[in-house]
Amino acid sequence: MTATLEWNKIMRLADLPKQIGKEVHLKGKSIALFHLSNGEVRAVANSCPHQNGPLAEGIVSGEYVFCPLHDWKISLVTGEVQKPDNGCVEVYETQIKDDYIYIMV
């Protein structure tokens, strides 16, 4: 059985402060949602590959989030952890339509 991906309306863009993460739950997944300073919205799995730290509580810098537990630097574009650490988190496609944020899950 193959899961079908679809756009899911999450929240108004105006309700997501820039540079502050927000945890959202969608289809049994915990997702960290970020409104970057450049206006883009990014979404990744809300669990650091190191020790499952809550990425929505991390510090955002540019297109990266730093895990609040051990400061691992994770790309919000690719999901890859910056070397010398290793790992990757799932990245979800986002779009803004009529001032609302949508995530593909």
**Cα 77 to Cα 42: distance, rounded to the nearest angstrom:** 7
The predicted structure's pLDDT at residue 1: 56
Kind and range of the H or E run holding 96: strand 94-97
Strands 100-104 and 7-12: antiparallel
The predicted structure's pLDDT at residue 74: 98
Instruction: Please say whether the dihedral angle defined by the alpha carbons of residues 61, 72, 83 and 80, taken in this order, is positive or negative.
Output: negative
Residue pair 60/19 in contact by the 8 Å Cβ criterion: yes
Tell which residue, 29, 28, 26, has the closest CA to residue 46.
Answer: 29
Tell which residue, 58, 27, 57, 64, has the closest CA to residue 42.
Answer: 64
Q: What is the pLDDT along the chain (105 residues), one digit of tens a residue?
A: 567 889 999 999 999 999 999 999 999 999 999 999 999 999 999 999 999 999 999 999 999 999 999 999 999 999 999 999 999 999 999 999 999 999 999
